[in-house]
């Protein structure tokens, strides 16, 4: 486990707006709740047209693992080193860390730098000021990573799945990227911020006696049901990541509902460039992106080798991002919290019209949420660079393969088998729904189940770190009729096993049809994320479903109506959080 300092350092980016706002004190609790105002009311710098150099560039960094590739692109140095990816492109880059996003925006408007570095949520908070004039409009050019760890939704014991957040009160840091994290989780289960009450907090974590953080609100205010927190606070609230005991600062019954290890395509880290710079120097922007793509490939190779070159890169990154070159292990943890997408991931993010988490979809989702929360005054369509990704591949030598498998399929099968035997498949359930089929149906065409398949694709796109089980169920009528007629146990076992095999076969057919549907849409669904289970007749959804003393299905479980009978033939899609099942993930190092 990484240290407290690691987690705070890697999350400096989440407390990077430093805006003054009205404070409402809950005196009896010692908490400060705040209101939130648009960023435009805090950033008042007069924008200037670009007049700087086209090749000598100041490039911002933030304290995040994704910025390791930018450091490597510069030759593991603050100023471009010969032989580096930036140097090979003829660029002279001076890197500087600016975790205060408001100050970063001010430098961008003044023309100190043509770049903005932030999450998609952070960029969208700035649209009211950057889009006032055409020459400072943002053109998003490159995605570094998705956040894949470090942020968590902690809930009290009345909340078992995201849908249970309806009507609840949630503590959330104002202006941080947890805002779009929360709104995305709500949206994925059909909720909006109108369905919850938000308590806005001025601080991300407790840093002093005057702090007021989401974790503090969950611990001290009985009316707060959930909190968006950083991992150290989440672990403290839940007695080390299990269930809070109420001792040592934990909250009785509190648990981590999910983290960005599960919801790993919510927070996208990107670079944007000023429109006037891009229009004047498109070849320079292309070179900048080519260098980043080359560096990302080189970083993957270093991680695979796990040798001295990687240590050198992590040491240089620790110096630039954490102000301490000795924090190599902390940088290693920061790398693990970032899911690098590479050139292939950029092509998918910016150009695939069917990807549920594509640039336009993410931008629209964030802006609509922020508009409803009063964080922006109007929605605006952010621009993206119209790159030819095949040309970028040729120039950089980087791969256009977007992603590899993220789960160990053997371990997934073992986990699902164990959970099925223990009747705990719904443990960690985030979302579930069913589809139904006719007697003797073996084909599951996307023409019949398009809306359900689209929902599955939406869920696995957001929750790339969760497993999606496809669970087949058979009609129990034949088995129960045989049991009622006194058939021998051997016959009953054969009927039961046949039904189990059939339910597995049908669930597998649904998976195949879903994969083919995704492929036809141009999506590369990760087959290792899907697990297939056949329950046979043993988990009917009838009103009288029950079991005999020996654990066998009772006769009372038989369908009583035609509607019940038709509903027993079903396939359940179940999204489950498996963060505690560490063996299912492929190792990073």
CATH code: domain 409-584 is 3.30.1330.60
Confidence band for 582, pLDDT divided at 50, 70 and 90: low
List the beta bridge partners of residue 532: 470
Could you give the CA distance from residue 115 to residue 142 in angstroms, rounded to a whole number?
A: 11
274-283, 374-383, 527-536 — most confident range: 274-283
Tell me what pLDDT residue 157 has: 93
Cβ-contact 58, 113 below 8 angstroms: yes
CA angle 296, 321, 285 (to 5 degrees): 45
pLDDT for 65-124, tens place per residue? 999 999 999 999 999 999 999 999 999 999 999 988 889 999 999 999 999 999 999 999
Residue 346 contacts by C-beta under 8 Å, 6 or more apart in sequence?
142, 143, 293, 389
Asked if the domains at 151-259 and 409-584 fall in one CATH topology, the answer is no
Domain layout of the chain by residue ranges = 38-145+271-393, 151-259, 409-584
Confidence band for 174, pLDDT divided at 50, 70 and 90: confident
End-to-end CA distance of the chain: 14
Confidence band for 517, pLDDT divided at 50, 70 and 90: very high
CA angle 127, 130, 135 (to 5 degrees): 135
Is the pLDDT at 12 greater than 50? The verdict is no
Q: Is 241 helix (H, G, I), strand (E, B) or coil?
A: coil
Residue 197 contacts by C-beta under 8 Å, 6 or more apart in sequence?
168, 169, 170
Is the pLDDT at 521 greater than 90? The verdict is no
* pLDDT > 90 fraction of the chain, expressed in percent and rounded: 66
DSSP output for 457-481: HHHHHH-TTSEEEEEEE---HHHHH
Tell me what pLDDT residue 295 has: 98
Average pLDDT, the chain: 89
Could you give the CA distance from residue 357 to residue 349 in angstroms, rounded to a whole number?
A: 7
For the chain, what is the radius of gyration of the CA atoms? 26
β-strand pairing of 115-119 with 268-274:
antiparallel
Confidence band for 281, pLDDT divided at 50, 70 and 90: very high
List the beta bridge partners of residue 143: 270
Count CB atoms within 10 A of the CB of residue 43. Answer: 22
Is the pLDDT at 403 greater than 70? The verdict is no
Is the pLDDT at 37 greater than 90? The verdict is no
- Secondary structure string (H, E, C) spanning 85-118: HHHHCCCEEEEEECCCHHHHHHHHHHCCCCEEEE
Q: What global pTM score does this model have?
A: 0.84
Cβ-contact 412, 311 below 8 angstroms: no
> Which DSSP category does 52 fall into?
S
Closest CA to 432 of 540, 533, 574: 574
Of the listed ranges 39-48, 243-252, 549-558, the one predicted with least confidence = 39-48
Residue 44 contacts by C-beta under 8 Å, 6 or more apart in sequence?
none
Cβ-contact 33, 296 below 8 angstroms: no
Q: Which CATH topology does 38-145+271-393 take?
A: D-Maltodextrin-Binding Protein; domain 2 (3.40.190)
User: Which CATH superfamily, name and number, covers 151-259?
Assistant: Periplasmic binding protein-like II (3.40.190.10)
Confidence band for 313, pLDDT divided at 50, 70 and 90: very high
Cβ-contact 13, 64 below 8 angstroms: yes
pLDDT for 350-389, tens place per residue? 999 988 899 999 999 999 989 988 889 999 989 999 999 9
Could you give the CA distance from residue 398 to residue 385 in angstroms, rounded to a whole number?
A: 18
Cα–Cα distance list, 371 to 133, 187, 194 (Å): 20, 15, 12
Of the listed ranges 24-28, 31-35, 111-115, 389-393, the one predicted with least confidence = 24-28
β-strand pairing of 56-61 with 92-97:
parallel
List the beta bridge partners of residue 338: 147
DSSP E strand boundaries for 355-413:
383-384
Could you give the CA distance from residue 491 to residue 522 in angstroms, rounded to a whole number?
A: 47
> Which DSSP category does 554 fall into?
P
**To which residue do tokens 């779009």 refer?**
180
Could you give the CA distance from residue 210 to residue 206 in angstroms, rounded to a whole number?
A: 8
Tell me what pLDDT residue 443 has: 86
Average pLDDT over residues 318-335: 92
Cβ-contact 63, 10 below 8 angstroms: yes
Is the pLDDT at 19 greater than 70? The verdict is no
Q: Is 20 helix (H, G, I), strand (E, B) or coil?
A: coil
DSSP output for 421-442: HHT-TTTTEEEEEEEE--TT--
Is the pLDDT at 423 greater than 50? The verdict is yes
Closest CA to 219 of 239, 193, 202: 239
Is the pLDDT at 264 greater than 70? The verdict is yes
Cβ-contact 149, 62 below 8 angstroms: no
Q: Is 303 helix (H, G, I), strand (E, B) or coil?
A: helix
Could you give the CA distance from residue 509 to residue 501 in angstroms, rounded to a whole number?
A: 12
Tell me what pLDDT residue 29 has: 63
């Amino acid at each position: 486990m990484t240290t407290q300092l690691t987690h705070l350092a890697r999350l400096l980016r989440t407390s990077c707006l430093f805006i003054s706002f009205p404070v409402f004190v809950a005196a009896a609790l010692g908490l400060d709740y705040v209101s939130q105002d648009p960023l435009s009311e805090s950033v008042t710098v007069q924008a200037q047209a670009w007049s700087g150099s086209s090749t000598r560039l100041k490039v911002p960094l933030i304290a995040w693992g994704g910025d390791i590739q930018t450091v490597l692109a510069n030759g593991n140095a603050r100023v471009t080193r010969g032989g580096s990816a930036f140097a090979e492109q003829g660029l002279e880059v001076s890197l500087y860390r600016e975790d205060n996003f408001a100050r970063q925006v001010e430098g961008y408007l003044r023309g100190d730098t043509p770049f903005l570095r932030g999450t998609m949520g952070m960029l969208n908070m700035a649209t009211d000021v950057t889009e006032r004039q055409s020459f400072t409009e943002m053109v998003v050019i490159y995605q570094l990573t998705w956040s894949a760890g470090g942020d968590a939704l902690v809930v009290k014991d009345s909340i078992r799945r995201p849908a249970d957040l309806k009507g609840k009160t949630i503590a959330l840091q104002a202006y941080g990227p947890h805002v779009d994290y929360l709104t995305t989780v709500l949206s994925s289960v059909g909720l909006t911020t109108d369905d919850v009450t938000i308590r806005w907090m001025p601080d991300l974590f407790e840093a002093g006696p005057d702090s007021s953080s989401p974790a503090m609100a969950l611990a001290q205010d009985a009316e707060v049901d959930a909190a968006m927190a950083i991992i150290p606070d989440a672990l403290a609230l839940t007695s080390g990541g299990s269930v809070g005991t109420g001792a040592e600062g934990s909250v009785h019954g509190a648990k981590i509902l999910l983290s960005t290890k599960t919801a790993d395509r919510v927070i996208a880290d990107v670079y944007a460039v000023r429109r006037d710079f891009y229009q004047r120097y498109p070849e320079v922007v292309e070179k900048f992106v080519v260098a980043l793509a080359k560096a990302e490939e080189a970083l993957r190779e270093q991680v695979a080798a796990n040798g001295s070159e990687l240590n050198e890169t992590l040491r240089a990154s620790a110096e630039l991002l954490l102000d301490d070159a000795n924090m190599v292990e902390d940088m290693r943890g920061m790398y693990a919290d970032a899911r690098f997408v590479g050139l292939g991931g950029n092509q998918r993010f910016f150009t695939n019209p069917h990807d549920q988490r594509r640039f336009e979809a993410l931008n629209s989702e964030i802006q609509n949420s922020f508009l409803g929360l009063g964080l922006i005054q109007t929605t605006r369509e952010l621009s993206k660079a119209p790159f030819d990704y095949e040309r970028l591949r040729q120039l950089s030598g980087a791969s256009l393969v977007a992603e590899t498998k993220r789960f160990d399929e053997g371990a997934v099968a073992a986990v699902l088998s164990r959970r099925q035997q223990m009747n705990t498949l719904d443990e960690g359930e985030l979302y579930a729904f069913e589809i139904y089929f006719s007697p003797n149906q073996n084909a599951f065409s996307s023409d019949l189940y398009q809306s359900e398949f689209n929902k599955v694709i939406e869920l696995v796109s957001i929750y790339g770190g969760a497993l999606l089980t496809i669970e087949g169920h058979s009609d129990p009528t034949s088995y129960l009729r045989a049991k009622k007629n006194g058939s021998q146990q051997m016959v009953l076992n054969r009927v039961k096993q046949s039904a189990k095999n059939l339910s597995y076969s049908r669930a597998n057919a649904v998976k195949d049809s879903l994969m083919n549907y995704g492929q036809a849409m141009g999506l590369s669904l990760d087959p290792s994320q899907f697990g297939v289970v056949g329950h046979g007749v043993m988990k009917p959804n009838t009103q009288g479903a029950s079991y005999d003393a020996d654990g066998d299905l009772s006769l009372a479980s038989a369908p009583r109506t035609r509607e019940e009978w038709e509903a027993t033939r079903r396939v359940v899609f179940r999204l489950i959080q498996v963060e505690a099942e560490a063996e299912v993930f492929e190792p990073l190092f």
